[in-house]
Amino acid sequence: MHRATLGVMFLREYDPALIPTFARQVEAAGLDDLWIIEDAFYNGGLSGAAVALASTERISIGIGIQPAVVRNAAYNTMDLATLARIYPGRLQIGFGHGVADWIRQVGEFPSSQVGALETITLATRQLLRGETVSFNTPDVYLDQVKLEYPPSVVPPVSLGVTGPKSLQMSGRAADGTILVELTGPALVEESRIRIADGQAEVNRTGEHHQITVFTHWMQGDDGPAVRSTWRQMVAERIAGGSMRQLVPAGFSGDAQRLLDEGGVANLAARMPDAWLQEMTVSGTVADCLTQIDRLSAAGAHRIGLVPPIGTPLETITAWATELNAARA
């Protein structure tokens, strides 16, 4: 079994002025990756990644994730190529559709979400490889554009997508896929099938496709008690549109029944601990390592740990140090 890299997320709720210190702490804790989140209208993912790269020496820095349609494809790739050229082999690029309401709020909602993301991804990857690129679509216009300074090590472009059509598109167009919180091993395996279908459409069968999993994470001495802190949030997420993520693990029917019987409060109260074990990396250090190993065995290449909102950064680095030491 391959061994997934392990990283942690810098949540949007933290002041971006803390990025340099936190990035150095994550590196000192022995982790492999730091993911900088970009959500409207918090911190800039691109600028945050630049600061984190400049503040560290070894770890990979991921942008998780840019809403691809809000930036000009060529100019955005210029910035990405600059970082990748200065810090070869250390940049992870994450693109996504973006939250529809936020994209409409800034007047950038595309004519086709899947089509726009696919075209921007293809254009970005070609530019990063040093190719001369032309596109003429409703969402991307490039006329013989070529970077003067493409990176010596081309960074992977991963797509943060969940739906079947988007996963297939990621297989066609991207170097990897980022699977969002509540993704368990069963969903990783199902997503890989969808991605492989997309690869087959464009004769990319057998090419390496990097799978990154973002997962809720919390550590403590009492495993069930630690996992229970996620109950309300997980129930709200399921009720709010994440029900399909439970289907591969076989939980969706019971989850819908609990919602029908008493709404979100009933689902949160009666949700079996096994569901939380499947959908989070939470509990004792041993519990966390078991779930990390299960995600790796299912096909995850990178795992991004997402701590609870409001957790002190010092606590996060202490957890990371303990977890990494136990994993060694």
**Structure confidence at residue 320 as a pLDDT band (50, 70, 90):** very high
Tokens of 185: 């091993």
Q: How far apart are CA 147 and CA 198, in angstroms?
A: 28
Q: What is the pLDDT of residues 254-310, one digit of tens each?
A: 999 999 999 999 999 999 999 999 999 999 999 999 999 999 999 999 999 999 999
127 touches 77 (CB < 8 A) = yes
Mean pLDDT on 97-109: 94
What is the dihedral sign for C-alpha 76, 44, 115, 136?
Answer: negative
Backbone angles phi, psi at 38, to 5 degrees: -120, 110
**What's residue 241's pLDDT?**
85
CATH 3.20.20.30 residue ranges of the chain are 5-220+280-327
**What's residue 2's pLDDT?**
81
Residues 6+ apart with CB under 8 A from 126: 133
**CATH 3.20.20.30 is the classification of domain 5-220+280-327:** yes
DSSP 8-state class, residue 42? S
**Structure confidence at residue 173 as a pLDDT band (50, 70, 90):** very high
**What's residue 141's pLDDT?**
95
**What's residue 192's pLDDT?**
97
**What's residue 244's pLDDT?**
87
**pTM to 2 decimal places:** 0.96
Q: How far apart are CA 200 and CA 153, in angstroms?
A: 26
**Structure confidence at residue 9 as a pLDDT band (50, 70, 90):** very high
**What's residue 328's pLDDT?**
86
HSE-CB of 105 using CA atoms within 13 angstroms:
9
Q: How far is CA 89 from the centre of its chain?
A: 18
Mean pLDDT, rounded, of the chain: 96
**What's residue 1's pLDDT?**
61
Residues 6+ apart with CB under 8 A from 60: 5, 7, 32, 33, 34, 89, 90, 91, 92
Task: For 59-88, give the DSSP string.
Answer: SEEEEEEEEGGGS-HHHHHHHHHHHHHHST
**What's residue 181's pLDDT?**
94
Terminal CA-to-CA distance of the chain, rounded, Å? 15
Q: What is the pLDDT of residues 138-157, one digit of tens each?
A: 889 999 999 999 999 999 99
Please say if the pLDDT value at position 41 is more than 80.
yes
Q: How far is CA 172 from the centre of its chain?
A: 18
Mean pLDDT on 310-321: 96
Q: What is the pLDDT of residues 29-38, one digit of tens each?
A: 999 999 999 9
Please say if the pLDDT value at position 171 is more than 80.
yes
